[in-house]
Amino acid sequence: MGFKAAVIDLDGVLVLGNDAVQGAPAAIKRLRELGLKLRFMTNNATRSRRMLKKYLFENGFSIEEEELMSSAYCAASYLREKFGNGRVFIIGEEGLAEELDRAGFDLVADEGADFVVVGLDRHFTYEKLAIALRALKRGARFIATNEDATLPTESGPLPGAGSMVASLVWASQKKPDVVVGKPYLLMFEQALKELGTKAEETLLVGDRLETDILGGNDMGLYTVLVLTGVSTRADIENSGPDYKPKLILDSIAQLPEKLGEIEI
Ligand SMILES: [Mg+2]
């Protein structure tokens, strides 16, 4: 085998809505027994690591907070590392606020912010957009948790964080200074730093070609697409080389036994 770690996407890989993917909890257990260090990664910034741990536990997964990387946590870590502290205006939900608060930032409700951090906000309003715009005009930095256009649900797609980011981009005529989520590399870089492994000895397991696989390939990880989520075999055939996974599996449940067959 030779792999030392795996970075695993959540939605469409381990969970579908409010159910675990069949066989996924056992597969994670087996990957641990095989000695792999694990990081679980999601673009979704609505839950903090504390909230994600609880949600995954309820779905049958034993995962530590330290193993979880959401774009909310990574945005907070990035800002703390780069700027130390400051005032933040958030377009986003409780989980994003919790991570920024835990990282020591002052959460403010007006345009006197040093940073505007934008994630999925199901209570998005004109007023929030106006405050964010005024903050950017005064020189605040613009951080997007991710640019996902939509959020897949059982009853069809809903607007994703990228839809909120796009309205602020349009209003301000300014692009984000940083986009944290996949396919951008910040979360992958942070994962490798925490894992202490090289890209080529690290697996990336995801369900979406244009975020997981594109970013994973760009980072040099060994990319595995599972077919339990968004992307299909037809999507792979219709996409360019940057989007092609190294391995395709019906489900993450097959990954532990497959690993013995792969030479890196
Ligand atoms: Mg996914």
Tens of pLDDT, residue by residue, the chain (264 residues): 689 999 999 999 999 988 999 999 999 999 999 999 999 999 999 999 999 999 999 999 999 999 999 999 999 999 999 999 999 999 999 999 999 999 999 999 999 999 999 999 999 999 999 999 999 999 999 999 999 999 877 788 899 999 999 999 999 999 999 999 999 999 999 999 999 999 999 999 999 999 999 999 999 999 999 999 999 999 999 999 999 999 999 999 999 999 988 877
What is residue 1's predicted lDDT score, i.e. its pLDDT?
Answer: 65
Count, residues in the chain = 264
Q: Is the dihedral of CA 166, 79, 75, 245 positive or negative?
A: positive
* Single residue among 146, 179, 212 that ends a domain in this structure: 179
Residues 187 and 230 in one domain: yes
The domain of 235 spans 5-43+182-259
Residues 172 and 191 in one domain: no
- Phi then psi for residue 74, to 5 deg, are -70, -35
Q: How far, in Å, from the CA of 7 to the mean position of ligand 1?
A: 12
Q: Tell me which residues have their CB within 5 A of the ion that is ligand 1.
A: 9, 11-12, 207
Residues 114 and 198 in one domain: no
Of 63, 127, 53, the residue nearest 95 (C-alpha) = 53
- Our count of domains for the chain comes to 2
Instruction: HSE, CB side, 13 Å, CA atoms: give it for residue 168.
Output: 35
pTM: 0.94
Residue at 107 is within a domain: yes
- CA distances 224 to 73, 109, 217, Å, are 24, 42, 10
Of 60, 49, 47, the residue nearest 93 (C-alpha) = 47
Residues 91 and 164 in one domain: yes
Active site residue 9: yes
What is residue 117's predicted lDDT score, i.e. its pLDDT?
Answer: 98
Residues 203 and 244 in one domain: yes
Q: How far, in Å, from the CA of 205 to the mean position of ligand 1?
A: 9
Q: How far, in Å, from the CA of 240 to the mean position of ligand 1?
A: 20
Active site residue 11: yes
**Helix and strand totals (H; E) in the chain:** 10, 15
